[in-house]
Amino acid sequence: MNVFILGGSGFVGGHLARRLAAEGHQVTIATRYPPAARHLQVIPGLKIARVNPYDLDSLTAALEGQDVAINLVGILNERGFGGRGFKRAHVELVEKLIISCEAARVRRLIQMSAINAGLGDSHYLRTRGQAEELVMGAWRDGQLNTTIFRPSVIFGPDDSFINRFAGLLKLSPVLPLARPNARFAPVYVGDVAEAFARAVSDESTHGRIYELCGSELWSLKEMVRWVRDQLGLKRMVVGLPDALGRLQALAFDFVPGKPFSSDNYKSLKHDSVCTDNGLIELGIEPWGLSQLAPSWLGPATRQQRYQAFRRQARRGGH
């Protein structure tokens, strides 16, 4: 099949593109900035197309001849405030994608969403829910055969979640955490890619919404302390009461790049865990964080300890 991926140059997209290509699908990565996808050019048969997803003509033309459209576009924070950035990335883009799919006669759409989409007062979750309503509306109206996936936080060697905490732990002797008891079921990126790949040609997934979770439940504090231990660091991880957590989020609202935000804080009010794990239903046995992450956290730690021992030995010799 010809598979068209929006947001394919990112973390999940790279893993999914490799999985689809291995199965013989012809994959097109659509992006406004092709150099960001250069690392994927080694994948056999993959094409990189310059596409403006907010321009209907550009998007429709790129979709011509495709069998399946996959939308992986999502943001965890916006540049400004008030939700405009979330609405543009999560809602307006999906509106245009549905219109363009119909115009290009693409009948299959698979949408990336998130657990708790539509719940609470965060712009992230609210706009994820609005996008789901659009996608399911297209299914009910007979426009598209749709599937929605709602993963918990996704982990992998090149993720931006576990690695972000690893980086913060290396920088500071104390790491204060907002919402330390928020719960997650981290799901391996390979399992997420497998779920998408199976859904491409599985008609039983049409009109369905699947939650995707790993095999382990963690609180945020437990997870960060575990990463600390894997790295062999002596750091204090401190859970903040909600009042201080809100202040921390407010302060980070004005930090370039927004490593944390008030909107993230609101999202953390809802545990990112599955009611029913769609991986099991799809015949995929999920991995857990502690089963896989040591393979990329542990070796680096051993090398760091070895280098530290050598530096200490040299100082002792002098």
Residue 252 covered by a domain: no
Residue 201 covered by a domain: yes
Residue 58 covered by a domain: yes
What pLDDT, on a 0 to 100 scale, did the predictor assign at position 307? 45
Domains held by the chain: number: 1
**5 confidence band (pLDDT: 50, 70, 90):** very high
What number is the average pLDDT over the span 73-89?
A: 95
Residue 139 covered by a domain: yes
Lowest mean pLDDT among 35-44, 122-131, 184-193: 35-44
Query: pLDDT averaged over the chain?
Result: 93
Residue 254 covered by a domain: no
Per-residue model confidence as pLDDT tens digits over 279-314: 999 999 999 999 999 988 865 444 444 444 444 444
Residue 244 covered by a domain: no
d(CA 227, CA 203): 39
d(CA 123, CA 130): 10
Size (the chain), residues: 318
What pLDDT, on a 0 to 100 scale, did the predictor assign at position 233? 94
Residue 32 covered by a domain: yes
Q: Any idea what the CATH number is for the domain that residue 64 is in?
A: 3.40.50.720
Domain residue limits at 62 = 2-155+186-214+273-281
**1 confidence band (pLDDT: 50, 70, 90):** very high
Per-residue model confidence as pLDDT tens digits over 112-159: 999 999 999 999 999 999 999 999 999 999 999 999 999 999 999 999
